[in-house]
Chain A
Amino acid sequence: MKEYQNTLSIGALEEGFVLDHIEAGHAMTIYRYLKLGKLDCTVAIIKNAVSSKMGRKDIIKVACPVDYLDLDVLGFIDHNITVDVIKDGKIIDKKHLTLPKQVTNVISCKNPRCITSIEQGLDQIFVLADPENRLYRCRYCEEKWDGILKK
Chain B
Amino acid sequence: MGIRHLMSPLDFSVEETEKLLDLAQDIEQHRDRYSHICDGKRIATLFYEPSTRTRLSFEAAMMNLGGKVLGFHSESSSSATKGESVADTIRIVSCYADIAAMRHPKEGAPLVASLKSGIPVINAGDGGHQHPTQTLTDMLTIRSLKGRLGNLRIGLCGDLKFGRTVHSLIESLSRYEGISFVLISPEELRVPSYVRNGMRAKGIPFEEVVRLDKDTMSGLDVLYMTRVQKERFFNEADYVRMKDFYILDREKMLVAPEDMIVLHPLPRVNEIAVDVDDDPRACYFRQAQYGVYARMALILTLLGIEVKK
Chain A residues with a Cβ under 8 A of chain B: 111, 113-122, 138-144
Contacts and interface: CB of A to CB of B under 8 A. Distances in A.
Interface stretch (B17-25, B51-59, B100-108): B100-108
A125 to B, nearest CB: 10
A141 to B, nearest CB: 4
B105 A113 contact: yes
A43 B71 CA distance: 56
A137 to B, nearest CB: 10
Contacts, number: 52
Interface residues of B, number: 16
A55 B115 CA distance: 48
Interface of B: 85-87, 104-109, 111-112, 126-129, 194
A28 B104 CA distance: 39
A141 B127 contact: yes
Nearest to B130: A142
B105 A119 contact: no
Given A113-B106, A114-B107, A143-B107, 20 more contacts: A113-B107, A113-B127, A114-B106, A115-B104, A115-B106, A115-B108, A115-B111, A115-B112, A117-B106, A119-B106, A119-B109, A119-B112, A120-B85, A121-B87, A122-B87, A140-B107, A140-B108, A141-B107, A142-B129, A144-B194
Given A113-B127, A113-B128, A138 B108 contact: yes
A119 B107 contact: no
Contacts of A121: 85, 87
Nearest to B80: A118
A119 B86 contact: yes
Pick the most buried of A115, A119, A122, A141: most chain B CB atoms within 10 A of its CB: A115
